[in-house]
Amino acid sequence: MTPSPPLPVEIVSQTSRLEAAVLALAGEREIAVDTESNSFYRYPEQMCLIQIAGSRNIYIIDTIVLTDIAPLKKVFEDSSVRKVIHGADYDIRTLDRHYGFRVRNLYDTSIAARFTGVTRFGLGDLLQDSLGITIDKCKRLQRADWGRRPLSAEELDYASADVFHLLKLHEVLELRLKDLGRTAWVAEECARLEEVKYTPADPETAYLAVTESRNLDGRGLAVLRSLVQFREEEARRQHRPHFFIMPDSALVFLAANPAADLRQVPGLGQNGLQRYGRGLRQALDAGIAAPPIKRPVVVWERLSPAQSQRLGRLKAWRTSQGAALCLDPSLLYPAASLERLAKAPETLEGELNSPEVRNWQREQFGASLRAFVKSIG
């Protein structure tokens, strides 16, 4: 088991202590941040913890008990305090979704690690490889019910360890990036990530995201839409995740076989039949009565043989750049821009200034790409 961090750990569950923590954090130059949610146990999910480590304390902010964490807004949006987060995309979306917080002066250690050339950039692997530190990243704790109270000592140790080592990891990664001349690259990537926002799924088209829905005809899609709406209502009524109510496989089977005996539906089971049988039959009847759905048509523009050959050569150019720098080629230039260049190489200057292309990519690879595009015609 990972030992408890040698910094004082405070569980913040009172407004007065939260305000005191905010005052203490305002004096920090950088802080480490992590969050814990309970999407495996509750729907809609709750944010259960926000862990913040500074130079003197670790705060585990109990967002289940504290219903108002507005004072933290100034911490996250204070651009003078760097926020070090590992794999920040999910945390940023979650903070935006639940509280409307924006994270400013972000440093994502996962992004930074990738730009140093490492191939193992999970937090546990990075800490082991970079600092010789082992933390407990077992699935049991990763998928713990963080909304349950009280939290165990093991869970609190896990939550604390996730942030305690981040500031040292940030320091090590920054030194490597400086030696490689890639500090500005990571800074731009992190600045772009700051602008990510939570985008809710469209409930009207949620049925199209169900696994294997692509094999259903218009009638099957109408039935599936009705079944998905039924499951959504049950999930919200019970505050349980969709998979707890009914698996996708059961919905697809019923959509394809709406007259099937419910006792024969795979994944439903006797318990599911007893709990949802009547509601399922009503949803099936509603879907059968609804007009068939015309599946949205996605138009894929096929490349000509010459364009396909050009795209292959452009990808080979990117691969060669990655090999020279010992970096994943996908980091170095956007695939979407390469595809457009394959169709219209004369648009190169416009592509170099497209929103997908970063400033550092333009500066680092612009001249090479110009010369290469000219050489392949």
Question: Are 219 and 367 in a shared domain?
Answer: no
- Residue 294 belongs to a domain: no
Number of structural domains in the chain = 3
Residue 15 has pLDDT above 90, yes or no: yes
pLDDT for residue 377 is more than 80: no
As a whole number, mean pLDDT of residues 303-309 equals: 95
Contact 331, 121 (CB under 8 A): no
pLDDT of residue 2: 47
Residues 231, 276: Cα–Cα separation, whole Å: 9
Q: What is the pLDDT of residue 298?
A: 77
For the cut 50, the answer to whether the pLDDT of residue 122 exceeds it is yes
Query: Looking at residue 216, which CATH number applies to its domain?
Result: 1.10.150.80
Last residue of a domain, one of 149, 169, 194: 194
Same domain membership, residue 366 and residue 269: no
- Do residues 279 and 344 share a domain? no
Whether residue 268 is contained in a domain is answered as yes
Q: Is residue 112 part of a domain?
A: yes
Q: What is the mean pLDDT of the chain?
A: 94
**Same-domain status, 105 and 186:** yes
Tens digits of residue pLDDT in 141-161: 888 899 999 999 999 999 999
Distance in angstroms (rounded) separating the CA atoms of residues 86 and 34: 8
pLDDT tens digits for 73-111? 999 999 999 999 999 999 999 999 999 999 999 999 999
pTM, full prediction: 0.91
Domain contains 295: no
Q: Is the pLDDT of residue 3 over 70?
A: no
Tokens representing residue 116 in the block: 């140093």
For residues 356-375, average pLDDT = 96
Are 15 and 135 in the same domain?
Answer: yes
Which strands make up the sheet holding 106-108, listed edge to edge? 9-12, 58-62, 47-53, 30-37, 82-85, 106-108
CATH number at residue 328: 1.10.150
Q: Within a domain: residue 3?
A: no
Q: What is residue 5's predicted lDDT score, i.e. its pLDDT?
A: 52
Question: Do 182 and 284 have their domain in common?
Answer: no
**Same domain as 222, residue 272:** yes
49 and 103 belong to one structural domain: yes
The residues, any chain, with a CB within 8 Å of residue 279's CB and separated by 6 or more, are 230, 234
Under 8 Å CB-to-CB from 343, ≥6 apart: which residues?
Answer: 301, 303, 307
User: Are 254 and 345 part of one and the same domain?
Assistant: no
Residue that the structure tokens 């108002």 belong to:
68
Q: Which of 161, 194, 227 is the last residue of a domain?
A: 194
Residues 1-12, mean pLDDT to the nearest whole number: 72
- At 87 the pLDDT is 97
53-75, pLDDT tens digit by residue?
999 999 999 999 998 999 999 99
| Domain boundary pick from 176, 194, 212 | 194
Same domain, 120 and 155: yes
Is 175 contained in some domain?
A: yes
Confirm whether 257 is domain-assigned.
yes
Q: Let me know if residue 4 belongs to a domain.
A: no
What is the domain extent for residue 56? 9-194
Instruction: Answer yes or no: do 220 and 278 share one domain.
Output: yes
